Amino acid sequence: MDVNIGIIALVLVAVIVLIGWLIRRNKKDKRDFAKTLNESALNPDKDSNKEKI
């Protein structure tokens, strides 16, 4: 079996970019979630998750 080194290198670069993107996205989501929790703790009357009757 002859494996092309160029294809392996391309796949490795794609995997590294994907992992980097996922880590950055996770940090952003964590920051947004913490901000949402802090805002809801400071303003419990303005909780957007409550259903209005």
Contacts of 46 (CB under 8 A, 6+ apart): 40
- The predicted structure's pLDDT at residue 37: 84
- The predicted structure's pLDDT at residue 36: 87
- The predicted structure's pLDDT at residue 16: 97
- Residue 30, amino acid: K
User: Within the chain, what is the greatest distance between any pair of CA atoms?
Assistant: 68
- The predicted structure's pLDDT at residue 27: 93
- How crowded is the C-beta side of 18, counted as CA atoms within 13 Å? 6
pLDDT truncated to tens, each residue of the chain (53 aa)? 677 999 999 999 999 999 999 999 999 999 998 888 888 777 766 555 556 55
Q: How far apart are CA 9 and CA 14, in angstroms?
A: 9
